Amino acid sequence: MIESIVNKYLSESVSKEIYDQLGGNKFISMTGAKNLISSDKSLSMRLPKTKNGINYVKISLNSSDTYDLEFGRVSGLEYKVKKTVKDVYVNNLIHVFEKETGLYTSL
């Protein structure tokens, strides 16, 4: 069920690849991520409140073929960037996400 909903919103692009690299449906179940937004080179999502008040993450593919992660806080109509981590290799993507949010992506 979750997979069909997610696939409806994620195109076969970089955002789908990011979603799969994070763990796919397990990632959604473990983190409580919602409101996934797909673009041609990024994936963003809302999270339940995490450490440091982070409740929004945007993961973008950059020109170096690495990822830039933006961690922020959405409150009403305001958005504040809490931290940006640049040039993250795919093998460190989950580690950086877990470190900055305090949410585990798998058991």
**Cα 14 versus chain centre, distance:** 12
In total, how many domains does the chain have? 1
The pLDDT of residue 69 is 98
Q: Has residue 106 been placed in a domain? A: no
Q: Has residue 70 been placed in a domain? A: yes
Q: Has residue 80 been placed in a domain? A: yes
For residue 57, what are the contacts with CB-CB under 8 A and spacing of at least 6? 33, 44, 45, 47, 69, 70, 71, 72, 97, 101
Does residue 90 surpass a pLDDT of 70?
A: yes
Q: Which amino acid is at 51?
A: K
| Overall residue count recorded for the chain in this entry | 107
Q: Has residue 107 been placed in a domain? A: no
Q: Has residue 92 been placed in a domain? A: yes
> What range does the domain containing 31 cover?
2-101
Question: How does pLDDT run across 59-73, given as a tens digit for each residue?
Answer: 999 999 999 999 999
Q: Has residue 44 been placed in a domain? A: yes
Q: Has residue 32 been placed in a domain? A: yes
In whole angstroms, what is the distance from residue 55 CA to residue 49 CA? Answer: 5
Q: Which pTM value belongs to this model?
A: 0.85
Percent of the chain with pLDDT over 70: 89
Report residue 79's pLDDT band, with 50, 70 and 90 as the boundaries: very high
